Structure formats: C-alpha cells, structure tokens
Structure 1
Amino acid sequence: DEVYAVGGAQAIAMFAYGVEPCERVDMVTGPGNIYVVTAKRLLKGQVGIDSEAGPTEIAILADETAEAAYVAADLISQAEHDPLAASVLVTDSETLAADVEAELDKQVAATKHVERIRTSLTGAQSGIVLVDDIDQGVDVVNAYAAEHLEIHTADAARVAGRIRNAGAIFVGSYAPVSLGDYCAGSNHVLPTGGCACHSSGLSVRAFTKSIHVVDYSREGLAAVKDHVVTLAEAEDLPGHGAAVSVRFS
C-alpha cells in the first residue's frame, strides 16, 4: 500500500535501512541490473532477498534438429536486455553452430538495439559451447545453472526432465523465453549468476517462513533427559545438561 519512485542500488539501501518516510523492510525481491544485484548481495543479512536476479541470461541446449533461426532469435531476445546479458548456445552439432552464427549476423543487423545486443553477444559471458553429445550438454547446462534454459532437441521433454539447475526451463521449439516473459504464467523474476543451483524463481514461498515450536510435558522430557545430558557432557557443555536435570532434582 506504499509506492516509491526510486531505482538502482540506492533503492535497495533505502529498503534495507529505512529512509523517511519508508521504514526498513524484512524482504526485498525483484530483478535489476548489476548494481541492483550487487546491492542485494551486500545487504543480504541486513534484509532478506529472494535471489540474485540480473543481469539476464539464456542458455539453449540444442541438437541437429533445432531450427537455427529460432535459436538465434531467442539468443538475441535476452541480449536485448543489457550489454552484460549472457546468451549461451550449447550444442553437439557443428552445423547448427555455424548456421546460428550466420542467423545472428542477419538478425542482429535487422533489430533495433544493435549496439547493446552486439556488446552482449560478443562479451566474455556469451558464446557457443560445442559438446560431444547431449549427455555432455546436460552436464554443461546443469553446471551453468542458467536463469532461462531452452531445450531444442529431439525428445525435448525427456531431456528437460534431466535438468537439475535452471531458473525456468522452456521445452521445445515453440516455447521461447519471451512466452514466459509475457504470457505463459511462469515468474519473470529468476535467479542468475549460477544461483539457480540453490535458489528458485520468485513465488509466494519467498514471503513465507517457518517457526519451530517445541512443547513437551514433564513425562516427555523425562523420557529423553538422559540422552540430552549425555550429549551435553560429550560436548563439554554441562550447563546444557543441568538445565534439564534441575527439573528432576
């Protein structure tokens, strides 16, 4: 019920520390550029965060059945976000790799944000990775843990089932990342920078937490008190054991 027109790293600091009239918050969620993501990382602990989300990245795992024009267009779609955006193709087909490079030359020249896209595609964070086979490709994309992962292979659904680390998986030639951005219903706030190996896309779970509640009767404590005392003495923390023993003195 409050809206502030603030952006960048300073907005994250405002949320974490509080600046009148904005009181400090418990949780900050959402994507941003490298400055926003860095601020979230530095302020984690001072404030809860969902994950590190930005700059954007796409990995595409493809074989010889993939359509080069589709793959190139999808790589461009994420390069369009930011000069630091990562667009990575992982394939076991040298022919596809060459065809995608040719398509990129053609499609980039015809798009709007040419300089930004070319900077992204030619940066160290982007490239084409040739693998021996799709099994090795699966290992590569699992290690990379991309924000967006597209699967353009024969039996794409089966291959997608082997993915452990990705923010969101787009299965088959007709599920581009843009579909998830605007229509499919998957969340657009996804972990980047390898964080998909331990973090998930934004959901209601980011705003929930659990509290452990311990409620014992005298009889229940009596049944386990010797275990507690033994473990406490093994750790050389006799006060811990005494806190149980005193209740039965």
Structure 2
Amino acid sequence: MTSNGFTPARVARLAVLSFGALVFLAPYIFMISTAGKAQSDIFTSSLSLIPQQWFFFENFAKAWSRVSMTTLLFNGVLVCLLILVFQVVVAIPCAYAMAKLKFRAARAMMVLVMLGLLVPIHATALPLYVAFDRVGALNSYVALVAPFTISVFGIFLFLQFFRSMPDDLIHAARLDGMSEIGIIARVIVPNAWPAITAFAIFSVVAHWNDLYWPLIVVSNQAYATPPLGLLYFRAAEAGDDYGALMAATLIITFPLVAAFLLAQKRFVEGITMTGLKG
C-alpha cells in the first residue's frame, strides 16, 4: 500500500460509508439480537444487543411450529418466480421492439410506459379484486401473480439497456437470416443477463415483501406469502412473543439477503450498464 493510501478525503469517505452501512444494518442487527432473547430479557430498561440468556433455539423452534413456515417460504418462492418469469418474457420483447425497431407507435408506447410507471397498484386494487371475485380466482396463485405479469418498470429498464447495445450486432444477425424472435432468443437475451439480474433483484424484493395485495386477495393460509404469514403468526397466540416473531422475520428475510449477496456483482453491473447511452 502506498504512503498516501489513507488520505483525509479517503478516511472521510470511509467514515461516511461506514456510518451509512451501520444505519441501514441497525434494524437487522436489532432483529438478530431480539431473536436470541427471552421475553423477560426483551422488556428491560437497559438496551443491550447481547442476550443475557441465549434463546435462539427456543425462538426459532416456536417460529417453525406456530405457523407453517415451509408453506410460507414455498409460496413466496413460487409467486416471485412466476411473476419474474412472466415479467421477463413480456418485458424483453417489448423493450427490444421499442429500442431497435422502427414503427409509428414507438413514441406513443414510450408515453404509455412512462404513464404506467406513475400508476400504483393501490389505484387498480379495487377493480382487480372485483374481477378476481367474479371469476372465483380469489385465494389462488392466479390472483397473486396475474396483476404483476406486465412490469412497465421492467420494460423501461430493459429499454435503457438495449439502447446501449450496438445496432451492428442486430444487423449482422438479420443478415444471417435470423427472425426477430430468433434475435431476441439468441442475441439479446444472452447479452442481457446483467440487466435481467438487476431487474430480478428489484422484482423479487418487491413481491417477496409485498403485503398489500396478498392481504386483499388471500384469506386462506395455504396461499399466504411470507409477509402475510407474519400477520397470522402474530394473531396465533404470539402477539407479544417478540423473540419468536423476530426469529420468524429472520427466516423470511434470509432468502432475500442470500440472493442479493450471490447476485451482487451482476446487480451492480446491470444497474451501471442500464445507465449507458447508445
């Protein structure tokens, strides 16, 4: 390391970043601490992160026994995976057409995409609920997945990424006799994995943590997603057992943390490349 490795500016940046990381990690650290405490240890006047008595095993055992944690995790993975697959299958062709094809409605489609980004799920929740109720689709995976199969954010993200791809690559594929579908499958998708990974993180985190929509369309615990399962957990005699509740929260949030850590490099790469201009 060079002698000027720790300059005042570098030390200041590291200090600010470390403080920011501590602020963002504080809730998770507190969650881990509470998950290892007994009930009497939680409600004390002194604030201590280290438990006086280690109750990790007991709290995690309660978390697994009081609700069907396996069902919650399975539903969360299945719903998020189905939503992600449908969103990618729809968003990539749409973004490719808007980025690389010339047609009259391109500008109008771009306006619709931008307007779609402004419409929250809360604005369409009531008519969607009535529609699913009329067709008898409440308390089903269809009700949990169908409203999110088209992601305007996904279309916008892929559009920015595809604009940075060279047109010569597309022209060469057309000269080789590829159809537009073939170009998407054999040229666009293999080169779009950084953007797909970045979008996957956004999509999975949003829908794994979503409580609003499952709370509306699901009343059967067999179809409950992880956040909704926490409500059932608290309602089932565990309202004041915060140690077990924090243990259940840790179990539910761990898959997201693990997935992000595994995909961190591609996520950063995808976010960086979607900001490039073609």
Higher helix share: 2
Higher alpha-carbon Rg: 1
**Fold conserved (TM > 0.5)?**
no
Higher strand share: 1
User: Which has the higher relative contact order, 1 or 2, with Cα contacts under 8 A spaced 6 or more apart?
Assistant: 2
